[in-house]
Chains A and B, each alone.
Chain A
């Protein structure tokens, strides 16, 4: 792909034989860090969207299983719903069906409890993010009407979770930057070694009237080819790993977490990695040679 005539025997350097593998390793790590970053980002975005836009109101059951108790429960629920619909800033409130509540409780209480235990009624409330109701006032009003009612706005723990995810995201970005820096350092080192090994030939090129850029280009193209090769190998190893991780994560999270996904843009940004490593190698090698030669006569 990058075959070019060169005047320097760069492809015979021992270093250039293992450079692609070093790059492959770094691209692999970079792909992991990047995927982690993107996955966490989509997660935190979805969750932070939910902060302050949803509430869960829990109407406690009236004890007893007789008809009077049941009627009282229904009245309480009705009062609550009325109050909610009168409150400004609430877009929608819907009762979570009993079957769903049972499903959610099943892991704790076991199957087959329907009808045996008085269950609280859960109401899912969606608020207008542009015009949020005052949660404290709402709580007071609801408590006055229905003693023991619980209003949960998820705010605190969601905010903490999002904060945690953001921190991890920042950490992944830092790791990515460190990987790039060490890849660049590796290329600087290999290029410098190459310059020392080929000093004699470079001198001859200079004496025959070669510009520094003529020499730098030979190093840069070579580094680019190796960087691309390494990038392809690294990505080739990273993709199966990520798919496998995705499968495992999918099995664990079921219903508990919103699905962690990279999305189309995320996958494409991973495919960019080999090109990025090729470009990084090209630029770094070129800059290293130009700098180094500037000191010669």
Chain B
């Protein structure tokens, strides 16, 4: 994988995506994410925000066009090199996708364990991060017993625990109140300052305005990028 700061984290060229034989839900997407950039992804429901993120976290291959991640063409990357790419990408899923049979702790620890990090380090990092997102008292609870907002925080913790180079968040504040919403956005902001490239899909206009990052707007499967206005406090 390439750590060259001049190579974009992600590059899309004429990308189209269709599910099965359905219509193209993304058309002619041309996009570059520079290292350390932060974009919001906005658009009406069903516009294709989650679909664009799926291309970025390798859940789908494009039906046409080129997708490069970290300088590698995903269409020609050998299968056994995909895990390394994926470990550099943290994802907050719109529907959380926590594993119901594992405790909050084990869910958040998953990316570290998959990467075979030593167990004492796993303990340390996970406990620290769970405290940060306010779940220190729910470490041993299973996801079905958590509230929507708690699940959301657990899923954010899982996405960032392994310090990914690219963080993709699909509606990460959809289920929390504004205060927790800004707290979580602040965590993501901190990660961005440390160099993590960020894409956040959101319907929350308040957050978009306040943080003032560039915006990728999707409408009818086509994208349109507007530069950021800078933060307003």
Contacts and interface: CB of A to CB of B under 8 A. Distances in A.
Interface of A: 5, 7, 9, 12, 200-201, 203-212, 214, 294, 297
A12 B99 contact: no
Contact of A297 (B58, B87, B91, B97): B58
Nearest to B80: A211
Nearest to B84: A209
B60 A209 contact: no
Contacts of A204: 97, 99, 110
Interface residues of B, number: 25
A208 B79 contact: no
A211 B110 contact: no
A7 B113 contact: yes
Contacts of A208: 86-87, 110-111, 114, 158, 162
30 contacts: A7-B99, A7-B102, A12-B101, A203-B59, A204-B97, A204-B99, A204-B110, A205-B110, A205-B114, A206-B86, A207-B58, A207-B59, A207-B91, A207-B97, A208-B86, A208-B87, A208-B110, A208-B111, A209-B83, A209-B111, A209-B114, A209-B162, A211-B80, A212-B79, A214-B114, A294-B79, A297-B59, A297-B60, A297-B61, A297-B82
Nearest to B115: A209
Contacts of A212: 79-80
Interface string B106-124: 1000110111000000000
Interface in B169-221: none
A208 B101 CA distance: 17
6 nearest A-B residue pairs (beta carbon): A209-B87, A9-B101, A209-B86, A210-B114, A208-B111, A209-B83
Given A205-B110, A212-B80, 11 more contacts: A7-B113, A201-B99, A207-B58, A207-B59, A209-B84, A209-B86, A209-B87, A209-B114, A209-B115, A210-B83, A212-B79
A192 B116 CA distance: 26
A251 B99 CA distance: 62
